[in-house]
Structure 1
Amino acid sequence: MAHAQTSEFKNPVVNWIDQRLPLFTMIQKEYGVFPTPRNFNYFWNFGAIASVILVVMIATGLVLAMHYAPHTSLAFDSVERIMRDVNYGWLLRYIHANGASMFFIAVYIHIFRGFLYGSYKQPRELLWILGVVIFLLMMATAFMGYVLPWGQMSFWGATVITNLFSAVPLVGGDIVTLLWGGFSVDNPTLNRFFALHFLLPFVIFAVVFLHVAALHITGSNNPLGIEPKGPQDTLPFHPYYTSKDSFGLAIFLIIFAAFVFFLPNYLGHPDNYIPADPLVTPPHIVPEWYFLPFYGILRSVTFSIGIPFTDIVLIPAKLGGVIAMFASILIWFAMPWLDKSPVRSYRFRPIYSQWIWMLPISFFMLMYAGGKPAEAPYVQIGQIGTVAYFAWFLGLPYITRHEKPLPLPSSIAEAVLGSEAAAAGATAKPMEKA
């Protein structure tokens, strides 16, 4: 005879459900009593913030899809109808459009925290790799979403970016034709992009689930980069970090709301309020701001690579730019093996603590150069930023070999509370259990 799962929840409805499907027990285990390092700072809020924004993007996207018409002769007008005639359509669209920027802001900070505190190191390599996969899916989803309004910048951005694949030897033309669904960016392209833009957020959600599952297997990293050595080093996730995450989320949503209600078009491009016209090329084609660093890398390769003293070209400039752009993200996968230092946190790494700042400096240089016309001095700024960006990654093995880390604290509790308080906490925990 089958027996129901034992459950101790006081609410009879919750208890009845949990005995038959222990969802609430799982939630209590993973988000209630889950032991979490006691020294998290506010950098650790951005994973939860990004998760909330993802849910907001999926919810608003579902409603917008009900009113959008994925056809080249109707798409632009359907977006204007959403803005003017659909109840609160303007709000849904502004939340969705600005939500993409907020999502990337949260994820960029989340990734930089990983670089700062070595969250890619053993045993969290797979956790990091899944995070990079999420970022690649985000980029694909955001690019296809930017095309859907079918404005001037949407159309020409799609034309320029999809044409990049034509640089791939042998199969480049076939890839472009497959992306377009024909021989130019037209109605089949818009239909494909709409279908994929609708589908990919659910793929992202699934990979986020794996990302969180991997996190709960290995446990969270922390600002000191040392593993918890006992119950004195941890706190239950609820109520300590649910409260802290809620506060951080509230501040972030206030900033989000400020853009939605007061600066809804600040992060967009005015040309996207002009219907797409294949016969009129905008004077300066730029992607959304969150793509600008990688666009800057793409444009910084202005030379071909060939055999010296011959006319043989091995890598044309266009292909070199495409390779550099994709390599700038794919190199993130190699971080656990490029940085072999046994110490995680930059706080205890004298050279790395200085070296780390070259990464955001080069990133913002590339963002600046990517948003400017492809002319001097912006091309040169992009080239300097590209060299600095790749030098940062490729210099990590050298730093690992020559750096002498500082002594690590013996435990998280000692670093946070002091040795006497940590010792008292260590002895108090077993007594409480007894």
Structure 2
Amino acid sequence: MLTRFYNWILERAPGLNGMARKHLTEYYAPKNFNLWYYFGTCNLLVLANQIVTGIFLAMNYSPTAAGAFDSVEYIMRDVEWGWLIRYMHSTGASLFFVTVFLHMFRGIMYGSFKRPRELVWILGVLIFVVLMAEAFMGYVLPWGQMSFWGAKVIISLFGTIPVIGHALVEWIMGDYLPANATLNRFFALHVIAMPLVLLLLVVLHILALHEVGSNNPDGVEIKKGPKGNRWDALKPADGIPFHPYYTGHDIFAAAFFLTVAAFIVFFAPTFGGWFLEHDNFIPANNLVTPLHIKPVWYFTPFYAILRTFPSFLGTTIWGVLAMFGAILLLALLPWIDRGEVRSVRYRGVGFRVALGVLVCSFLGLGLVGAGVTAEVTPAWFPGADVTTLENVFGRSMVTGYFGFFIFLWLYTRLGLERPRPVPERVKAHA
């Protein structure tokens, strides 16, 4: 019966069979994928979770300043399994950024942004930007203290734009302060517009990837070297069909990932205030400012760039430009890095050291943006000026982050890199 139903579908939509072959059974991926390549699948898994849980949350949410916080409490306390759906959504948001950050790091480490995959990389950066916008709007919706003040601080950044800044802030808010109009438009964008754009970019990202083929830890194309075998001379010798080989691996990775996510959801859904901040369990009050206004953890590196970047000529617009420039540089990476070798396995010592500096700088910026450095400074340096030390540390991390791109441009443009010999074919998986 299933066979007859399948044949009935194919008679009326024959293109589906060709699509499945192109993107699954006849899509040849390198045979040496490792652990780093699981995070792309985890991204799709979390995206599906966010869409499904978001639909159920939207059914009981009230996008008004008077009812938003109470509707979230109603979901948590009175809706059947509402607490579980809400925690799955909030935990999923943080895990989404965990997997995206690791996925992007793998791309930088193995040179997945290099020719001919520049478009794949740019689409990935656009996904990251849209995801940040989606997460920010979702962060505002619970309408707790950090939601309100976070919205006020972030939207006020547009006020640094000369001439039109203040008018632009009022236009985005729909009021002089975040209020009903802000919640309504953020709710509409969060549940309709941004998810549609995100899904479109994800589809384009995957289609673009399958046109040029996947990179691998060796950074060598699978069509390079001896081709084919005695069964089919057209098949790449160093590639294997994505299905059933890697789909089986991905199912195992997804099961492990879901197990870790379940432990967080059931035993530590707030993750010590990192995933859900304590101040956000207090209703929004525009007359009471929280002691420390800071964004959720996945925004903290970019928030730290904004905070610690020195003002110039009495304006903070340079900090805003630096914050957005930190993301723009990621999109320009294919043209910044002109090295011929892709993978970190065979790149020069300078690149490996610079990559380590980039990672340490990004993590350090996250600590500064989250206020951790301000909390530990009095204990580690009694009597020291907390603000001065935090600025010194933060600016050194900013220098390390932007220095990576400057160094990479000079390192590869001036021919200073001395890479190791690259193998002709990809090495077999251990």
Distance 1:206 1:151, change over 3 A: same
- The residue aligned with 1:261 is 266
Q: Is the 8 A contact 2:110 2:343 kept in 1?
A: yes
- The residue aligned with 2:405 is 393
* Separation in structure 2 between the aligned mates of residue 354 and residue 331 of structure 1, nearest angstrom: 19
- The residue aligned with 2:50 is 57
Deviations along 1:72-106, whole A, 9 cap, x unmatched?
00000000000111111000000000100000000
Deviations along 1:322-375, whole A, 9 cap, x unmatched?
011000101111100000111110111122122211111000010001111582
Matches within 5 A, 1:141-180: 141-180=134-173
Aligned-partner SS, 2:114: coil
Paired AA for residue 133 in structure 1: L
Deviation, structure 1 residue 19: 2.1
Deviation, structure 1 residue 147: 0.5
Aligned-partner SS, 2:29: strand
Between 207-216 and 245-254, report the one with greater CA deviation.
Answer: 245-254
Q: Is the 8 A contact 1:60 1:92 kept in 2?
A: yes
User: TM-score, with normalisation over the residues of structure 1?
Assistant: 0.89
Deviation, structure 1 residue 301: 1.6
* Separation in structure 2 between the aligned mates of residue 317 and residue 347 of structure 1, nearest angstrom: 44
* Separation in structure 2 between the aligned mates of residue 142 and residue 340 of structure 1, nearest angstrom: 33
Paired AA for residue 410 in structure 1: E
Q: Identify the match of residue 419 of structure 2 among 389, 398, 405.
A: 405
Deviations along 1:193-216, whole A, 9 cap, x unmatched?
111111211210111000000000
Between 20-29 and 171-180, report the one with greater CA deviation.
Answer: 20-29
Deviation, structure 1 residue 146: 0.4
Deviation, structure 1 residue 379: 2.2
Deviation, structure 1 residue 303: 2.8
Paired AA for residue 279 in structure 1: L
Q: Which blocks of at least 5 consecutive residues in structure 2 are unaligned? A: 228-235, 375-385
Quick check: 1:376 aligned with 2:388? Answer: yes
- The residue aligned with 1:425 is none
Q: Which blocks of at least 5 consecutive residues in structure 1 are unaligned? A: 1-8, 305-312, 419-434
Q: Identify the match of residue 102 of structure 1 among 95, 101, 111.
A: 95
Q: Is the 8 A contact 1:44 1:110 kept in 2?
A: yes
Q: Is the 8 A contact 1:301 1:317 kept in 2?
A: no
Q: Is the 8 A contact 2:152 2:178 kept in 1?
A: yes
Q: Identify the match of residue 302 of structure 2 among 271, 274, 294.
A: 294
Q: Identify the match of residue 319 of structure 2 among 301, 318, 321.
A: 321
- The residue aligned with 1:20 is 12
Relative contact order (C-alpha < 8 Å, sep 6+): which is higher? Answer: 2
Q: Is the 8 A contact 2:31 2:429 kept in 1?
A: no
Deviation, structure 1 residue 253: 1.1
Aligned-partner SS, 2:240: strand
Paired AA for residue 208 in structure 1: V
- The residue aligned with 1:366 is 365
Between 114-123 and 373-382, report the one with greater CA deviation.
Answer: 373-382
- The residue aligned with 1:202 is 196
* Separation in structure 1 between the aligned mates of residue 410 and residue 283 of structure 2, nearest angstrom: 52
Q: Is the 8 A contact 1:302 1:317 kept in 2?
A: no
* Separation in structure 2 between the aligned mates of residue 302 and residue 356 of structure 1, nearest angstrom: 25
- The residue aligned with 1:29 is 22
Aligned-partner SS, 2:253: helix
Q: Is the 8 A contact 2:33 2:429 kept in 1?
A: no
Deviation, structure 1 residue 298: 0.5
Q: Is the 8 A contact 2:32 2:429 kept in 1?
A: no
Deviation, structure 1 residue 417: 7.5
Paired AA for residue 349 in structure 1: R
Q: Percent identity?
A: 47
Q: Is the 8 A contact 1:14 1:24 kept in 2?
A: no
- The residue aligned with 2:346 is 348
Q: Is the 8 A contact 2:160 2:315 kept in 1?
A: no
Q: Identify the match of residue 280 of structure 2 among 256, 261, 272.
A: 272
- The residue aligned with 2:221 is 227
Q: Is the 8 A contact 2:311 2:319 kept in 1?
A: no
Paired AA for residue 56 in structure 1: N
* Separation in structure 2 between the aligned mates of residue 321 and residue 14 of structure 1, nearest angstrom: 57
Q: Identify the match of residue 126 of structure 1 among 119, 125, 142.
A: 119
Distance 1:138 1:417, change over 3 A: closer
- The residue aligned with 2:378 is none
Q: Is the 8 A contact 2:141 2:187 kept in 1?
A: yes
Deviation, structure 1 residue 160: 0.6
Deviation, structure 1 residue 10: 8.1
Deviation, structure 1 residue 382: 1.2
Q: Identify the match of residue 91 of structure 1 among 76, 84, 89.
A: 84
Paired AA for residue 366 in structure 2: M
Q: Is the 8 A contact 1:301 1:321 kept in 2?
A: yes
Paired AA for residue 264 in structure 1: P
* Separation in structure 2 between the aligned mates of residue 259 and residue 28 of structure 1, nearest angstrom: 37
* Separation in structure 1 between the aligned mates of residue 391 and residue 297 of structure 2, nearest angstrom: 17
Deviations along 1:389-411, whole A, 9 cap, x unmatched?
00001111222121022111111
Aligned-partner SS, 2:51: helix
- The residue aligned with 2:209 is 215
Paired AA for residue 404 in structure 2: W
* Separation in structure 2 between the aligned mates of residue 13 and residue 284 of structure 1, nearest angstrom: 60
* Separation in structure 2 between the aligned mates of residue 340 and residue 282 of structure 1, nearest angstrom: 46
Between 361-370 and 21-30, report the one with greater CA deviation.
Answer: 21-30
- The residue aligned with 1:245 is 250
- The residue aligned with 2:380 is none
* Separation in structure 1 between the aligned mates of residue 184 and residue 311 of structure 2, nearest angstrom: 36
Deviation, structure 1 residue 273: 0.5
Quick check: 1:285 aligned with 2:285? Answer: no
User: TM-score, with normalisation over the residues of structure 2?
Assistant: 0.90
Paired AA for residue 251 in structure 1: F
Between 17-26 and 281-290, report the one with greater CA deviation.
Answer: 17-26
* Separation in structure 1 between the aligned mates of residue 258 and residue 358 of structure 2, nearest angstrom: 27
Q: Identify the match of residue 333 of structure 2 among 332, 335, 357.
A: 335
Q: Is the 8 A contact 1:155 1:276 kept in 2?
A: yes
